[in-house]
Amino acid sequence: MKDLIDINKININPTDAPDKEFIYIDIDAVENGTGKYSIEKTFLGKRAPSRARRIANKGSTIISTVRPNLKGFAYIAETIENSVFSTGFAVLNSKDEKILINLMIYYLFMYSEGLMKQMIAAMPKGQYPSINKGDIDNFILVIPPRTEQEKILSDIAEYEAKIAICEQKIQSLPTQKQAILEKYLH
């Protein structure tokens, strides 16, 4: 993997900007297995948690290095201004998108059974099962050719759009139900 992916390329120390407000994305902010994350936590640089050090820009994949089998992974589709990520994440970016598309990294970590087996094998069997940069460097990835990656990502995007439409419909149903109840039962 070390030949294809940059790991933790950009780090900062928020205490260098003591009066600046930062958005903090820690491991708890990422929902396991969904790729969803929250940007609700903030702090001033002078009150920065010691683990607030990583930068994840547009196109980065973040993976929780603590209990990675829970899939606390997310793809950062757009840069989150003034954000800082926990050192509990590895921030991954393709070294060359002509070979490996950034978004493909996220899907490989989230869904590749072979990659998950490597992560589980690398975790110590104690109270704090985790992986580190050295482990990630040595994982072996099976990467489809660029044209196949594009096809995979295009197909996924098509289904994601359909899912979004269905989720919108589902969200509107309780309001529609309430309207019927009020119409006929009041």
pLDDT at 135: 96
Residues 124-147: tens digit of each pLDDT: 877 889 999 999 999 999 899 999
Packed helices 146-185 and 102-111: angle between N→C axes, nearest 10 degrees: 70
- Does the pLDDT value for residue 53 go beyond 80? yes
pLDDT, position 125: 79
Element (H, E) at 184: helix 146-185
| Mean pLDDT, rounded, of the chain | 96
Secondary-structure percent of the chain, ordered helix, strand, coil, rounded to 5: 40, 20, 40
Q: Determine the residue type at 3.
A: D
The reported pLDDT for the residue numbered 99 is: 97
The candidate with the shortest Cα–Cα distance to 52, out of 19, 82, 76, is 82
Among residues 96, 113, 92, 98, the alpha carbon closest in space to that of 145 is found at: 98
Question: What is the distance between the alpha carbons of residues 52 and 165, in angstroms, rounded to a whole number?
Answer: 36
What pLDDT, on the 0 to 100 scale, is given for residue 148? 98
Which pLDDT tens digit goes with each residue over 87-130?
999 999 999 999 999 999 999 999 999 999 999 999 987 788 99
pLDDT of residue 126: 77
pTM greater than 0.85:
yes
